[in-house]
Homo-oligomer: A and B are copies of this chain.
């Protein structure tokens, strides 16, 4: 039963910031002892660390983190839905502009990719999904700049993504309680993103060194 000061101490987060997270609903309130004191548990510490990781490492806006965490604990949803809802709320760039011809082309390329990859669930969910929109916006930007980004170029990316997803879900399934699984899914989805990007950049440096260095 720690007090706020200890929670702050053990997490390395300032008391003022913890209060801010409490206000914003990122952290459930502690159990009230008296009018001016509350007790926090190991669970609070764990949640606080997750919040920090999402915000600082995953570069997630506070408002987004709140939605993601809300989905985590939403008992009205079943397992798969809860997982989907959490990932759904993840940050995504600007919406693709429908009037832009590059966006239309991009949408076509992405749709064809989904078909070729056999991702039927993605095709069903379609342009409702933030991930789909993020993808279209990025492909459209590439297209506007004149860089090739058709199905052929995207396929190796999709294949790699597919492999990684299998590894990720394997990891998630190592947890028994559904609650743990959903939290793991969110944490692994978000926190492996900088891992993946960092590794890709290092691999590019490696390959560039090999070819031009």
Shortest A156–chain B CB gap in Å is: 5
Given contacts A53-B145, A194-B93, contact A208 B169 (CB under 8 A): yes
B52, B164, B187, B198: the one contacting A135 at CB < 8 Å is B198
When C-beta atoms are compared, the residue in chain B nearest to A94 turns out to be B56
Shortest A80–chain B CB gap in Å is: 4
Given contacts A203-B161, A205-B125, contact A135 B195 (CB under 8 A): yes
Q: Please determine whether A206 and B156 come into contact, CB atoms closer than 8 angstroms.
A: no
What sequence of 0s and 1s flags, for each residue 86-115 of chain A, a beta carbon within 8 Å of any chain B beta carbon? 010010111000000000000000000010
B52, B79, B132, B169: the one contacting A204 at CB < 8 Å is B169
Copies in the complex: 2
Q: How far is the CA of A160 from the CA of B92 in the complex (A)?
A: 23
Interface assignment of A30: CB less than 8 Å from any CB of chain B: no
Q: How far is the CA of A205 from the CA of B50 in the complex (A)?
A: 21
Name which of A31-39, A68-76, A147-155 contacts chain B.
Answer: A147-155
Interface assignment of A134: CB less than 8 Å from any CB of chain B: yes
Q: Please determine whether B83 and A198 come into contact, CB atoms closer than 8 angstroms.
A: no
Beyond A145-B191, A196-B196, 7 extra complex contacts between A and B, CB < 8 Å: A56-B141, A59-B59, A84-B208, A119-B202, A134-B194, A138-B193, A142-B192
